[in-house]
Amino acid sequence: MRRSQDTEEFCPFNPLSKTYTPELDPEALSRLDAYAARFRDAFALDRPARWCPVYLRGLITDGERKSIEPLSRRVPLPPELAVKDPEQALQQFVSQSPWDEQAAWKRYRAVMAECFADPAGIFVIDDTTFPKQGKHSVGVQRQHCGALGKKANCQCAVSVHYVSPKGHCPLDLRLYLPESWLGDEARLDRAGVPEPERRMLTKGQIALELLDRVRGEGLPGQLVLADAGYGVSGPSRAGLAERGLHYIVGVTDELVVFTEEPRWIEPTAATGGRPQKRPRLAEGSPRPVSLRELASRTPRRKVTWREGTKGPMSGRFAWLRVWPGHGWATGDCAGEEPLWLLIEEQADGKLKYAFSDLPAGTSRLRAVRLWRSRWPVEQGYQQMKEELGLDHFEGRSWRGFHHHACLVMLAYGFLALEQRRARRGRPRPGKRGGAEVR
């Protein structure tokens, strides 16, 4: 599918570094209430809508734990919500009330788009893990746990984020269900997993569904970034291309590529012997090499991609054209279009790799700037966990998990808007007292 933008329209930028936690003075609380009121219709019923600002305030207010019990003790209730047991009321709001988190997320994305949507916007696919004890929390399984850096008992959620010259924010999230869960109907029932979600989906397939949902609402952007967990999947890369999206996605060093265009012999009609069914590599055609081997003989050059608060941010990169070599012995990659390979040499000497289908004229500097624009998502996840309690939810149900995640994103969105408001109030360089200096 033909892309609507070429490489020159993917402009490098320096997005807002991260959100921040404002002092919740009366004016800030008034803005929080007004912000929460924008989601009132998404909650369908009046009472859940009234609990939304209470929960958001609890997430934003300083505190070690953002689980329901300490949160309920931390936040004063308005007179109209006075109850004997605030903890039980909040538990019901998050884990049992039937409000639709998809409706709330859709409204949230519309609110964020008003401030952050930009034609140069980038979609970032990521996932995050939640270490757990026991086997009852929905989706929990012993698997690779990024939060701990090893294999452990955890949940994993796939998410899509937006980074633009105007700011950044998470857009959507869905829990990954391992095969061990999908084969156990009783377990799914106990966790309240809806019937439409009881499907075998890879993390890459979940990411594509999330992208379809957010892009279907009109959010602009033509580039997707993802790490190697998604980039190594040929179907995931093909899915992005089918949607008319360019990508820069991480890959691992055991993948093989051709450094020159391979020559293939197409199957011909059988003239005796076993018929040939697949293309085969022509005699004398170049053979593929692993990315590890290719990197060992490929020089890297220093690239400075932006100015940081502590000085220029730079690294050593190679940027070269390659042809995919997956399944070359059986002709699986015959006819594949060339891709870009980005090799990054990190400060400790370790190498990282990424494939990209950006146009042939894309410069190394532009590619590096785009690839490194993922960093706000890493900071965003750090804040959502450390400050807003994304990983503090103690319930076990599908509904509770996604309700809590949705509300954390709403809280993050408020902080992003507060940061934008604070920055817009600062004098700009070259201006004094609101008048431009000439």
Residues 61 and 146 in one domain: no
pLDDT tens per residue across span 78-101: 999 989 999 999 999 999 999 999
pLDDT tens per residue across span 389-411: 999 999 999 999 999 999 999 99
Residues 172 and 94 in one domain: no
Grade residue 189 by pLDDT with cuts at 50, 70 and 90: very high
Residues 98 and 191 in one domain: no
Average pLDDT over residues 340-365: 97
Tell me, what's the pLDDT at 11? 39
Residues 128 and 98 in one domain: no
pLDDT tens per residue across span 264-292: 998 876 555 566 678 989 888 999 999 99
Tell me, what's the pLDDT at 275? 63
Average pLDDT over residues 41-52: 88
Q: Determine, yes or no, domain membership for 240.
A: no
Q: Determine, yes or no, domain membership for 194.
A: yes
Share the mean pLDDT of the chain: 90
Tell me, what's the pLDDT at 414? 97
Asked if residue 4 has pLDDT above 50, the reply is no
Residues 32 and 132 in one domain: no
pLDDT more than 90, % of the chain: 78
Residue 352 and residue 368 in contact, taking contact as beta carbons nearer than 8 Å: no
Sequence-separated contacts (24+) of 105-109 with Cβ below 8 Å:
105/171, 105/172, 105/406, 105/409, 106/42, 106/217, 107/38, 107/39, 107/41, 107/42, 108/39, 108/406, 108/409, 108/410, 108/413, 109/171, 109/172, 109/214, 109/217, 109/219
Q: Determine, yes or no, domain membership for 242.
A: no
Q: How many independent structural domains does the chain possess?
A: 3
Question: Residue 155's domain spans which residues?
Answer: 117-221
What is the model's pTM? 0.89
Average pLDDT over residues 184-199: 98
Residues 257 and 322 in one domain: yes
Residues 45 and 122 in one domain: no
Residue ending a domain, choose from 339, 374, 409? 374
Residues 196 and 295 in one domain: no
Q: Determine, yes or no, domain membership for 435.
A: no
Tell me, what's the pLDDT at 432? 36
Grade residue 24 by pLDDT with cuts at 50, 70 and 90: confident
Asked if residue 438 has pLDDT above 60, the reply is no
User: What one-character-per-residue DSSP string does 189-240 give?
Assistant: HHHT--GGG-S---HHHHHHHHHHHHHTTT----EEEE-HHHHT-HHHHHHH
